[in-house]
Amino acid sequence: MDRRQKVTIKDVARKAGCGIATASRVLNKSGPASAEARERVEMAARELGFSFSALGRALQGGRSMTIGCLVPSLANPVFAEAVQGVQETLKGTGYQLLIASSNYDGEADNEAIATLAAKEVDGLIVTMVAPERSAALKQARQRGLPVSLMFHDPIDGFLTAHVDNFEAAREVARQFADRGHRHTAFLALRFSTSDRSRNRYAGFHAECRARDMFDPTLIELDEADANTPELLAAILAAQEGLTAIFASNDFLAIAVQKAARLMGESVPRDLSVVGFDGIEIGRLLDVPLATIETAPDAMGRQAAQTLLDMMQGRPGAQRPPLPFDFRVGATLGRPRTESRDDDQVRPRPPSVHSLKTDLKQG
Amino acid sequence: MDRRQKVTIKDVARKAGCGIATASRVLNKSGPASAEARERVEMAARELGFSFSALGRALQGGRSMTIGCLVPSLANPVFAEAVQGVQETLKGTGYQLLIASSNYDGEADNEAIATLAAKEVDGLIVTMVAPERSAALKQARQRGLPVSLMFHDPIDGFLTAHVDNFEAAREVARQFADRGHRHTAFLALRFSTSDRSRNRYAGFHAECRARDMFDPTLIELDEADANTPELLAAILAAQEGLTAIFASNDFLAIAVQKAARLMGESVPRDLSVVGFDGIEIGRLLDVPLATIETAPDAMGRQAAQTLLDMMQGRPGAQRPPLPFDFRVGATLGRPRTESRDDDQVRPRPPSVHSLKTDLKQG
DNA sequence: ATCACTTGTGGAAACGTTTCCAATTCGACT
DNA sequence: AGTCGAATTGGAAACGTTTCCACAAGTGAT
């Protein structure tokens, strides 16, 4: 019962009464063989239910036809969709995907890369905490492993499929400014483990300055869970004069809406909210979410295509960032108390940076 | 540059001036070695940056330490979360996940299974269109490959991690009945490729009958995309007297809410909606979604654990279904025109089965 | 009948491991 | 000094492929 009996090409050859080499040639159509031999080998293979072992092939051929993929988490639909995009592009190429996830842990990132490399993957598609500082990734590249990045902004020496987070965030600031918002906040999750988030903040911050708005307050959450809205409500209640929030992803943006509801405030009358990513569900909401719409699956497809090119020896250059769209939802409006045209330079209030929410650990 | 120079144990042995066997023993701590030899080998390995090739190991040891996983799509958060759960359970066991997705295509299912088997995975965790009819899966099992199912209701000869779809759907019907609904519909996506969906319909249908409600109308969509709400609105407009809809997943349920809004109807005053799955975002909605709450990650964890048990020779028995919860949201209410207690048996209206929406192909 | 080809064929090496087993060394005991 | 056992050690086989190469057999031309 439990005996895992493998049928090898040796068995086929024996049954067909020929040498291994001949069987291999027939089954791979890779060399000459008499009609009669072909017939016998094919028959034998069919009867035995033979199929090649990718292991033996990989060992001998030096190519495993496997691609390693590392993402922070599949529970985040953005990454899940990207991986799906990778799968689509790989479909039909014969490559399989070995997937690891690090749960946003830089240490786990390194281990995962090492493990994937040990499995002799032919290439790596990666989103990690800090690719530019990963020893394991560096070593993999030194060994000649092609690496393609996803989501990360361009890093020296790497090719990446990305959107211009800085620019996109500036766009959000512009939209806020155009509607008269001056006092805003940037809401992020796990700021320290995401260069994307940091770049969005940087862009948002820069444009706010350029538009003579207050520096945005930085609100950082450690974790998102069921009571995130309550937590947010508490934090927001402590902020005075805030009229608009830019959330680093759509999930957070939706949580902000919920928080506003809990506080008895109305979106966008009392508070404007803009998200990032453009997940499908945002559209379906009662009050459709204003957001930066990106295409994670396209990101995955591009990263995969880049990798395929590298593996075929066509190095390719860094592609321009993928386009994003500002989706005008219904969560963005004018602030209730319009700024009264007193354009004289006012002192900026001290910006509350890194308002860490360690209420839980405390 | 491009030279992929592998450091093998042979290189280590040569540099350490000893035999391969000794090097192997030292590096694996699997046998005796003099302190001096140990020292030299470890030094050599470090200097060369040696790491084992999982390929050679797998070939020799007969175990690849890789597990194959097949799901319909990672773009569906339910499956993505389940895979995440699998990853969590596998973390620390040394097993890696080779992931394939079929895009709900039964043919692709078979190919994927065959490919995974060819890669010599040590076990299979699978959600597919029709496991009971898959030739490839059958063959894999005959070869002694342990197989663990996710999401599927129990099938003879397989172990599966699941929720009781039939019972859960009955619960929905009960909730409808308790509030006085009699004329309901069941909304599904790709009915033909999902036994889960079919079982939910069956349970819903059965309980509707038991409660003397009308047979639920079956509404089936081929695909969900951006204009699903419009499509739904058109379909719903044609249904008379409908007071409640059971959607086969939360995404569809949210689309129904949007459709109702498009039609100028109010949820739950004019139409009650209940979903299935219990995705996190449903909670955050303006009108929190009533739904059957399941735990996809727990499903993944259980499936993985079952597989680990099988691989360790502990066969284990089919576990009971994982619990589900009826989440009382705000999308479920009493129908506007309360059924006037005329309990005489009324003829049921012909139920519109398989109202296929091939508006697009047509 | 010999030669030079073409065609078909199978032995064997190589890929990177692990592990069995025989051989070597060494100290200790008779 | 000679024998014995324990502790180390390394050669070689095996895992399932592919492919190089040499060999056999057949074919047509000289």
Closest residue to D7 (CA to C1') is B32
Selected residue of B78, B86, B285, B311 to mutate for chain A interface (largest A Cβ count, 10 A): B285
**Strand C interface, protein residues by Cβ within 7 Å:** A 17-22, 25, 31-34, 36-37, 56, 59-60, 62; B 6, 8-10, 20-21, 24-25, 27-28, 30, 50-53, 55-57, 59-61
Q: Give the strands of the sheet with B272-277, arranged side by side.
A: B325-327, B290-293, B272-277, B244-247, B184-189, B217-221, B355-356
Q: Which domain holds residue B200?
A: 165-294+325-339+346-356
Say which residue the tokens 């799968």 belong to. Answer: A87
- Could you tell me if B351 lies within 8 Å of chain A, comparing CB atoms? no
Q: Give the number of other CB atoms < 10 A from CB of residue B205.
A: 21
Q: Could A286 and B284 be called an inter-chain contact, meaning their C-beta atoms sit closer than 8 Å?
A: no
- Could you tell me if B297 lies within 8 Å of chain A, comparing CB atoms? yes
The reply to whether A186 and A205 lie within a common domain is yes
Nucleotide nearest to B55 (CA to C1'): C16
Q: What is the pLDDT of residues B84-130, one digit of tens each?
A: 999 999 999 999 999 999 999 999 999 999 999 999 999 999 999 99
Structure tokens at B72: 């319909």
Q: Tell me if B361 is assigned to some domain.
A: no
* Number of domains comprising chain B: 3
Question: What residues of B are in contact with residue A309 (Cβ under 8 Å)?
Answer: none
Q: How far apart are CA B119 and CA B188, in angstroms?
A: 35
Q: Tell me if B289 is assigned to some domain.
A: yes
The reply to whether B176 and B198 lie within a common domain is yes
Q: What is the radius of gyration, based on Cα positions, of chain A?
A: 27
Query: Which of strand C's nucleotides are less than 7 A from any protein C-beta?
Result: 7-21
- Could you tell me if B80 lies within 8 Å of chain A, comparing CB atoms? yes
The reply to whether B351 and B226 lie within a common domain is yes
Apex B320 CA angle, B316 and B323, nearest 5: 140
* pLDDT, one tens digit for every residue, chain A (362 residues): 445 578 999 999 999 999 999 999 999 999 999 999 999 999 999 999 999 999 999 999 999 999 999 999 999 999 999 999 999 999 999 999 999 999 999 999 999 999 999 999 999 999 999 999 999 999 999 999 999 999 999 999 999 999 999 999 999 999 999 999 999 999 999 888 999 999 999 999 999 999 999 999 999 998 888 889 999 999 999 988 999 999 999 999 999 999 999 999 999 999 999 999 999 889 988 889 999 999 999 999 999 999 999 999 898 899 999 999 999 999 999 998 644 444 444 444 444 433 444 333 32
Q: Tell me if B303 is assigned to some domain.
A: yes
The reply to whether A279 and A195 lie within a common domain is yes
Apex B240 CA angle, B239 and B241, nearest 5: 125
The reply to whether B202 and B350 lie within a common domain is yes
Q: Tell me if A2 is assigned to some domain.
A: no
Structure tokens at B23: 């090097």
The reply to whether A130 and A188 lie within a common domain is no
Apex B345 CA angle, B342 and B350, nearest 5: 115
Q: Tell me if A223 is assigned to some domain.
A: yes
The reply to whether A155 and A169 lie within a common domain is no
Q: What is the pLDDT of residues B164-205, one digit of tens each?
A: 999 999 999 999 999 999 999 999 998 889 999 999 999 999
Q: Which of A5, A114, A144 sits opposite B3 (nearest CB)?
A: A144
B1 exposure class (CB count in 10 Å sphere: 0-12, 13-18, 19+): exposed
The string of DSSP codes covering A272-307 is EEEEEE--HHHHHSSSPPEEEE--HHHHHHHHHHHH
How many residue contacts between A and B have a Cβ separation below 8 Å? 151
Domain CATH code at residue A202 = 3.40.50.2300
Q: Tell me if B3 is assigned to some domain.
A: no
The reply to whether B97 and B133 lie within a common domain is yes
The reply to whether A30 and A179 lie within a common domain is no
The reply to whether A79 and A118 lie within a common domain is yes
Apex B258 CA angle, B256 and B259, nearest 5: 60
Instruction: Give me the phi and psi of A66, to 5 degrees please.
Output: -130, 140
Q: Tell me if A1 is assigned to some domain.
A: no
Question: What residues of B are in contact with residue A96 (Cβ under 8 Å)?
Answer: 98, 100, 115-116, 119
- Could you tell me if A284 lies within 8 Å of chain B, comparing CB atoms? yes
The reply to whether B126 and B207 lie within a common domain is no
Q: What is the pLDDT of residue B352?
A: 42
Q: Tell me whether strands A147-150 and A159-161 are parallel, antiparallel or unpaired.
A: parallel
In SS3 terms, B23-79 reads as HHHHHHCCCCCCHHHHHHHHHHHHHHCCCCCHHHHHHHHCCCCEEEEEECCCCCHHH
Say which residue the tokens 């009358």 belong to. Answer: A269
The reply to whether B184 and B266 lie within a common domain is yes
Instruction: Give me the phi and psi of B29, to 5 degrees please.
Output: 50, 45
Instruction: Give the minimum alpha-carbon distance from B347 to chain A in angstroms, rounded to a whole number.
Output: 37
Task: Specify whether the CB–CB gap between A163 and A153 falls below 8 A.
Answer: no
Question: What residues of A are in contact with residue B6 (Cβ under 8 Å)?
Answer: 143
Report helix angle B77-90 to B296-311, nearest 10: 40
Q: Tell me if A118 is assigned to some domain.
A: yes
Task: Specify whether the CB–CB gap between B252 and B187 falls below 8 A.
Answer: yes
Q: Give the strands of the sheet with B147-150, arranged side by side.
A: A159-161, A147-150, A123-126, A66-71, A96-101, B96-101, B66-71, B123-126, B147-150, B159-161
